Amino acid sequence: MALALRLRRAIVVSSTFAPLFRPASAPISQGALLLAPFVPLPRPWMLPGAAAGFRSTAAAAAAGDKTPFDDVPGCDYNHWMVSIHFADPKPTREEMIEIYLDTLAKVVGSYEEAKKRMYAFSTTAYTGFQATMTEEDAEKFNELPEVFCVYPDAYIFPEKKQYAGDQYDKGTITPFRPRNYWGKSSRPDKKRALLKEQSE
């Protein structure tokens, strides 16, 4: 009963907001809405009231507003995360990295400059990259069709000042290894202790 109620609520919510989550330029028939009630996440600049993309810090400051990222550690509006959508079949990891660099080069001017500015990326947990740039440069990504969304990056581990993703330093890749940051899992030790107690 509870599952049916949750499903019903999800369908009502998705059908109510489905038009907001679709590109404004794509004509949608009523039949398409019935066949596809679940749609991809919206691009932030397509939501009502956000015609020009994310709200710049300058615009927020002029209006006297705080931006949603002001209190997030590591969010300095110089580090940006760019999410790229890949259709199936997805490219290989190496091809994705090249696409990331090519996409960044379109905004910063050259492939070599892109290699200097990209500091992290992911091809698994998310598909996208992180790079240093000005807020004005970050807004230019809104014009690129392969870009899903752009938003300020922040530390995943504030105490270590560490951003998420595989680290990228001018072509040198250091894989992201969560176990190095979160410590050894205690689960194997608990299993050993439990087995030891049971055998005694």
pTM listed for this prediction: 0.57
Question: Does the pLDDT at position 21 exceed 50?
Answer: no
Please report which confidence band the pLDDT of residue 69 belongs to, taking 50, 70 and 90 as the band edges: low
154 sits in which H/E element: none
Mean pLDDT of 92-109: 95
Residue ranges of domains in the chain: 75-182
DSSP state of 157: B
At residue 2 the predicted structure's pLDDT band, cuts being 50, 70 and 90, is very low
pLDDT in tens, 107-149: 999 999 999 999 999 998 889 999 999 999 999 999 999 999 9
Phi and psi at 172, nearest 5°, equal -90, 125
Edge-to-edge strands, sheet with 166-169: 147-152, 79-84, 128-132, 118-122, 166-169, 172-174
Q: What pLDDT is attached to residue 53?
A: 45
Report the percent of the chain where pLDDT is more than 90: 32
Binned at pLDDT 50, 70 and 90, residue 178 comes out as low
pLDDT tops 80 at residue 190: no
In CATH, the architecture of 75-182 is 2-Layer Sandwich (3.30)
- How high is the mean pLDDT of the chain? 70
pLDDT for res 198: 57
Using a pLDDT cut of 70, give the percent of the chain over it.
52
> What is the distance, to the nearest Å, from the Cα of residue 196 to the centroid of all Cα atoms in its chain?
44
According to the 3-state scheme, what is the secondary structure of 44-90? HHHCCCCCCCCCCHHHHHHHCCCCCCCCCCCCCCCEEEEEECCCCCC
Q: Phi first, then psi: give them for residue 139, nearest 5 degrees.
A: -65, -25
Task: Find the mean pLDDT for residues 17-34.
Answer: 43
